[in-house]
Amino acid sequence: MKDAILLTGGSGSRLLPLTRVHSKHLVYLAGKPIIDYPLTTLQGLGCENVSIVVGSSFSGQIMDYLQDGSRYGMNFNYIYQEKPVGIAQAINLCKRFVQDRFVVMLGDNYFEKPVQFKPNVAQIVLHKHSDLTRFGVASIKNGNVIRIEEKPKVLDCNTDNYAITGCYLFDQRYFEFFQSMKPSSRGEFEITEIIQKYLDNYDLDFTFTTGAWSDLGTHSSLQSVQNHIYKEHLNEV
């Protein structure tokens, strides 16, 4: 998996007031900007070419900070998402830049331990979480994913339910699946709909996180990840 897509759009409204003048992906987290953490995960997966989707009013800040990627031992190129119409559409903009299987990483996700994919086709990375209503959720029964749902209000207690983290492995069929997609009721092309299409085609596998995981979109999640890093990884900060 040499190719990856890193998504850095979004206004960061839940991280106001700093995000009034500042990209949310450059907010401070234990000595580094948030964006360095997902990039570390991509390095761990051996990714070499990263297409970075920018789209907020602070896109220039992200490019100024990340530059050409040589500091990370990777090659970066930048793609502009004109309107914030969802993760699935942002990925589709990168069609020309990714070959074979490729990794997608959300720029506001923290993985404590390296992500490990199996040598299969499309995969999602699952994490046991106490508040599943905030995430895409995969429901598992008898060892198989039977349902994918974005931010479900009610959970099925007859299945094992996991948060779908913001690290995905797709192949070129992604772009075929996207062609028939329509925006959801909130006006976004939902990534969970693409995952459902892989599931419908019996081509979805999953793996689990081996350490802590969190999104970094809120003050409270930032604070708790920062506490975790200072407690468990002080020598790496």
78 three-state secondary structure: strand
Binding pattern to ligand G1P, positions 64-103, x when CB under 6 A? -----------------------x----------------
Q: By C-beta, is 115 or 163 nearer to ligand G1P? A: 163
Residue 136 makes contact with ligand G1P by CB under 6 A:
yes
Q: Which of 37, 58, 76, 135 binds ligand G1P (CB under 6 A)?
A: 135
Q: Which of 161, 138, 160, 165 is nearest to 149 (CA)?
A: 138
Q: By C-beta, is 11 or 75 nearer to ligand G1P? A: 11
CB 71 to ligand G1P: min, Å: 25
Asked, as a colleague might, if the bond just before 17 is cis with ω within 30 of 0, I would say: yes
What is the DSSP-derived secondary structure letter of residue 196?
H
The rounded distance, in Å, linking the Cα atoms of 175 and 89 is: 10
Residue 138 makes contact with ligand G1P by CB under 6 A:
no
The residues in 207-226 that bind ligand G1P, with binding defined as CB under 6 A, are: 215, 217
Residue 111 makes contact with ligand G1P by CB under 6 A:
no
Other CB atoms closer than 10 Å to residue 159's CB: what's the count? Answer: 16
Candidate segments 39-47, 54-62, 73-81, 164-172, binder of ligand G1P by CB under 6 A:
164-172
Candidate segments 36-44, 88-96, 161-169, 176-184, binder of ligand G1P by CB under 6 A:
161-169
Please report, to the nearest 10 degrees, the dihedral formed by the alpha carbons of residues 200, 201, 203, 208 taken in order: 0
**In sequence order, what are the beta bridge partners of 185?**
none
Other CB atoms closer than 10 Å to residue 226's CB: what's the count? Answer: 17
Query: Quick one: tokens of 189?
Result: 């092309």
CB 121 to ligand G1P: min, Å: 19
Q: Confirm if 27 and 215 have CB atoms less than 8 A apart.
A: no
Residue 150 makes contact with ligand G1P by CB under 6 A:
yes
Q: By C-beta, is 62 or 132 nearer to ligand G1P? A: 132
Q: Which of 122, 233, 105, 112 is nearest to 172 (CA)?
A: 122
Consecutive H or E run containing 178: helix 173-179
The closest residue (CB) to ligand G1P is 136
Q: Confirm if 6 and 202 have CB atoms less than 8 A apart.
A: no
The residues in 182-211 that bind ligand G1P, with binding defined as CB under 6 A, are: 191-192
Q: By C-beta, is 71 or 219 nearer to ligand G1P? A: 219
228 three-state secondary structure: helix
Residue 164 makes contact with ligand G1P by CB under 6 A:
yes
Residues within the interface to ligand G1P (CB under 6 A): 87, 106, 109, 135-136, 150, 163-166, 191-192, 215, 217
